[in-house]
Amino acid sequence: MINLKDQVGKRAVDFIEDGMIVGLGTGSTVYYLVEALAEKIKEEGISIQCVTTSIRTKEHAESLGIKISDLDEVPYIDLTIDGADEVDPDFNGIKGGGAAHLYEKIVASNSKRNIWIVDESKMVDQLGAFPLPVEVVKYGSGKLFNKLEKEGLNPSWRLDDEGNKLLTDDNNYVIDLNLGTITNIGPLASKLNAYTGIIEHGLFIGITDMVIVGYLDGPKVLTID
């Protein structure tokens, strides 16, 4: 069976060049990117520096000998490659299925260029079927949950494998908004930004202009005209 995630991970490293500072995202697709990048470094002898968006990506990359730096230690990021949970025709996306969207957005916003790598199931006509995550501070999070519920945003707590409220790398909670469809991406993002207690939401708007999509007949590099 063709592994579409492995396929796009290997295609994405073609855009990484010697001397670059590269942002590495988080998630199951990025796992294969990191594996492919380690192989590229070994085979081609290139020298790169990386910044990661989660502890698990950092540990994975370092285990393969990839040099990792703190975001504040690098002058800039040339390119960040990350996955996405949904991508619409305008390359807006929902991210945060791995509860790393805060760090992912920070790294993406400090990158000269962003590429998303996904399999074809992540390409949608309209965002919203995938729950929209919001990272929230613990203090007063129950009150915030109630406000989101009253607004009709259908919130649910993100839980870990033990049934406890999941903690992000920054030790915050995640509330998922089960919206079904999102017809007002910009206004919704502004609305969520205005809530006290929400640190970051998973709507990524106008951040990337390239998506590498895995199809059964091979990966395709899509760009916005």
Q: Which residues are annotated as catalytic?
A: 104
Strand partners, 203: 94
Distance CA 116, CA 212 (A): 6
Instruction: List the one residue out of 116, 110, 101, 105 whose CA is nearest residue 21.
Output: 110
Instruction: List the one residue out of 121, 130, 123 whose CA is nearest residue 201.
Output: 130
Give the chain's length: 225
Distance CA 117, CA 54 (A): 17
